[in-house]
Structure 1
Amino acid sequence: MALRRALRAAGGRWVQRLCSVSGGGGDTIFALSSGQGRCGVAVIRTSGPASRGALQTLTQPPRLPPPRVLALRRIRDPDTSETLDRGLVVWFPAPQSFTGEDCAELHVHGGPAVVRGVLRALGRLPGLRPAEPGEFTRRAFHGGKLDLTGAEGLGDLIRAETEAQRRQALRQMEGELGQLYQRWTETLTQALAHLEAFIDFSEDDNVEEEVLARVTATVRGLEQEMGAHLRDGRRGELLRGGVHAVIAGPPNVGKSSLLNLLCQRPAAIVSPVAGTTRDVVEVALNVGGYPLVLSDTAGLRDATDPVEQEGVTRARDRLQRADLILAVLDASALPTQRGGLAATLGSLLPSPSPPCILVLNKADLLPGGALPASCPQGDPLPPTTLLSCKTGEGLDRLLELLGGQLERLCGDPLAGCPSLTQSRHSHHLSAGVTALGRFRRDCHLDLGLAAEWLRLARRHLGRITGQVGAEEVLDIIFRDFCIGK
């Protein structure tokens, strides 16, 4: 029967998953898990079957402390019995450890000589070898301690530089995204089982005719839910990688001055000579807990100098790929005719344009610090603010507008359904939604083909979490981890 064959195949895949431990081979790994360089405390960890013996060999007295209890021990060289340090050690017997294997940690003083001495001592013990980047987390994945989305969340947490990034990564590491995909996988599995039963037993009148209708309704609801998850405006990806904002405008309106004001350092050259900026100058900022990658670009005009022409070309290319634009104009030289300001702004922005903030710089040159009464007020404009890069007046209002735009683009990482964070997720989800759509097309024509579409959709969900076809993406996911994690 097709149903029994599917169940046997699924069972075989799970047995293969549970029995495989990539990169382990029964050996024990060790690494410095805290940061390099001088520090108060350095953490050295091991994982594998020789962890217990290694901890007993290096510590005095050799009696192991109770599991998961820190104990003060003298740490010695196994060859010379010389004391290397006095520090805290902790023992994590399998399976109650990060990797699911026997693990140990040595918390020693963070001087480079101490760390080198302990690592050399571990390297001389039989069965131990230095860990590869990400190998602890990879073993945790193979030990069933976390799925691939959790591993990716852990990597993002290590690299998080803003509060919003930390919140999103922690939520993913704790399994919320993986649990969502697992729920969808279970829904698909149940629908596929019911469909297989209908195919196998409907001729015997042992399966109700309503089964097919229920399967179709379930798949339609899941397709809508997955589609909505995909249409999140790339919030998770923007938060993870940073919102790319471009400062654009004509020459000599203060674009480079604005970049320097926002990053509080002379990152770009400022000069009264028009066309000073020729290349893209990029800085990373933290604005209200959200990551911002801000680019200063060449002034947009019909340049005659070949180098400036290339700068303008690069500026327009960067505008096409921007998530947010800070359009800068000279507040003291605005067009006075109705519609003139909107037309000037439109000549700067790509079509279609991403969200934009209009910055009217050089407010210090305005009489009374306000726009003249003759300046048109009825133009359809994006959020607009007056600013003086020279005095800093108006910066708070600009930061308020900028923070609001970043919040709208990235969303609240703690609210609602967890967001997509990787293009890998988007690819497999899109393919899964396509497969569900083809199921609905074929379910009234060929039930066998329709069942294959459900299997394909489930396989794509499994590739996200690592339940199926994980090996081909493991190296990509773990290669950017630091050694010791």
Structure 2
Amino acid sequence: MRREVERWRAALIEALALVEAELDFSDESDVGSFDQARLRQLLEPLLVEMHAALKAAPASERMREGFLVMILGAPNAGKSTLLNALACRDLAIVSPTPGTTRDMIEAHLDVVGLPVTFVDTAGLRDAADEIERIGVDRVLERIGTADLVLWLSPDAHEPKPEMAAHVDVLKVATKTDLTPAPAGWLGISAETGSGVDTLLKDVGEFARQRLGDGASALLIRERHRTAISAAAACLGSALGAEKDLEFIAEDLRSAGRALGRIVGAVDVEDVLEAVFARFCIGK
């Protein structure tokens, strides 16, 4: 992101150099007449790119938050075993005793270059005690925040809870080293690793559809969005109705101050250096 904004800053300095040369050094023979077409050629692409970055800001925010995958199923469906297999380490306790997982356990992974959070959850059932019931209730409350639910079942018979319309569901048949997956289900065996790579590939495709490929994730912080929005407004003003160069110069300086909140101020020395590099003033 910084590299992109620095490129905008460099183009803005060149535009300011054109304007300041006309304002302060128009009597120099090398300066010549003001090049309005060149000014627009510099500023119009900047404005288009800034608007595009601002338009993509919601996707950028989602990229920062990541893609949330909740692993759901009845007790002993293989949820914790799958989380450990995905994370390649023992994050969750695996036990044949139903209700072992009480709290949600997260694993933050990179899947096809995208940030994905997998959440192991308490098995969904009529809780045997109050503590387990609290864990189940928390799972049910959080389902609506998920982007994708992995519904795990070793026999495809447990009814899954109601999902919000925006939540995708991938049906995953577990323990396929013991029982083949039914039609329409992705079969995995976390014990042997069979099907886990396919599962990650499918999750990556869901994440890519929701987040994009990451190329548009430019403005991931609110202060950056505010600065670019201010700079774009100033450029729009500079390119708007016909106005004196003094007012255009002030618009460009204001745009430079806005970009300066991200990559450093556009100061007088920057502009003068560009002026003297472009024109043979005083020589």
TM category (shorter chain) comes to 0.5 to 0.7
How far 1:185 moved relative to its partner?
0.9
Counterparts of 1:185 and 1:370, CA distance in 2: 57
Within-5 A mapping of 1:75-86: none
Cα distance in structure 2, aligned partners of 1:217 and 1:300: 61
The question of 1:444 aligning with 2:236 is answered no
Say which of 249, 254, 273 aligns to 1:456. Answer: 254
Q: Which runs of 5+ in 2 are unaligned?
A: 27-31, 268-283
Instruction: Give the letter aligned to residue 362 of structure 1.
Output: T
Q: Distance in 2 between matches of 1:411 and 1:182?
A: 23
Matched, 1:352 2:166: yes
Once residues 43 and 128 of structure 2 are traced to their aligned partners in structure 1, the CA distance between those partners, rounded to angstroms, is 59
Residue correspondences, number: 256
User: What is the SS of the residue equivalent to 2:253?
Assistant: helix
Contact 2:74 2:153 survives alignment (8 Å): no
Partner of 1:364, secondary structure, is coil
Residue aligning to 2:224: 428
Structure 1 residues 16-31: aligned runs within 5 Å: none
**CA, structure 1 residues 316+446, in 2 after alignment: closer, same or farther (shift >3 Å)?**
farther
Residues 143-184 of structure 1: CA distance to partner in whole angstroms, max 9, x if unpaired?
A: xxxxxxxxxxxxxxxxxxxxxxxxxxxxxxxxxx55433321
Partner letter of residue 185 of structure 1? R
Measure the CA separation in 2 of the matches of 1:254 and 1:364.
11
Matched to 2:229, the amino acid is V
Residue 398 of structure 1: how far off its partner (Å): 1.7
Change in 2 beyond 3 A, CA 1:262/1:439? closer
Q: Given the alignment, which residue of 189, 197, 203 partners 1:396? A: 197
Q: How does the TM-score come out when normalised to structure 2?
A: 0.63
Alignment of 1:180 with 2:4, yes or no, is yes
Residues 196 and 429 (structure 1 numbering): CA distance in 2 closer, same or farther, change over 3 Å?
Answer: farther
Matched letter for residue 352 of structure 1: H
Partners of 1:235 and 1:298 lie apart in 2 by 29
Alignment of 1:55-454 (within 5 A): 178-194=2-18, 211=36, 215-216=39-40, 218-229=42-53, 231=56, 233-234=59-60, 238=64, 243=66, 245-252=68-75, 253-271=77-95, 275-285=99-109, 292-299=116-123, 307-308=131-132, 310-312=134-136, 314-315=138-139, 325-330=148-153, 332-334=155-157, 347-348=162-163, 350=164, 352-353=166-167, 358-362=170-174, 364=176, 369-371=180-182, 385-402=186-203, 411=213, 420=218, 423-424=220-221, 427-437=223-233, 439-440=235-236, 443-444=240-241, 451-454=249-252
Q: Which consecutive residues of structure 1, in runs of 5 or more, have no partner in the other structure? A: 1-176, 336-340, 378-383, 470-485
Determine helix, strand or coil for the equivalent of 1:360.
strand
Q: What secondary structure is seen at the aligned counterpart in 2 of 1:371?
A: coil
Secondary structure (helix, strand or coil) at the match of 1:401 reads helix
Report the identity percentage: 34
| C-alpha distance 454-467 of structure 1, shift in aligned 2 (>3 A) | closer
Distance in 2 (alpha carbons) for counterparts of 1:392 and 1:189? 56
User: Could you tell me how far 1:244 is from its partner in structure 2?
Assistant: 5.1
Q: Which has the larger radius of gyration?
A: 1
Q: CA contact under 8 A between 2:60 and 2:220: conserved in structure 1?
A: no
The amino acid that maps onto 2:173 is N
Deviation at 1:418, TM superposition (A): 9.3
Q: Which has the higher contact order (CA 8 A, sep 6+)?
A: 2
Are 1:278 and 1:297, in contact at CA under 8 Å, matched by a contact in 2? yes
| Separation (CA, whole Å) in 2 of partners of 1:304 and 1:458 | 63
Distance in 2 between residues matched to 1:195 and 1:429, nearest whole Å? 27
Residues 451-476 of structure 1, C-alpha deviation per residue, up to 9 Å, x if partnerless?
5443333223233223469xxxxxxx
Residues 316 and 410 (structure 1), Cα distance of their counterparts in 2 relative to 1, 3 Å cut: farther
Contact 2:231-2:258 within 8 A present in 1 as well: no
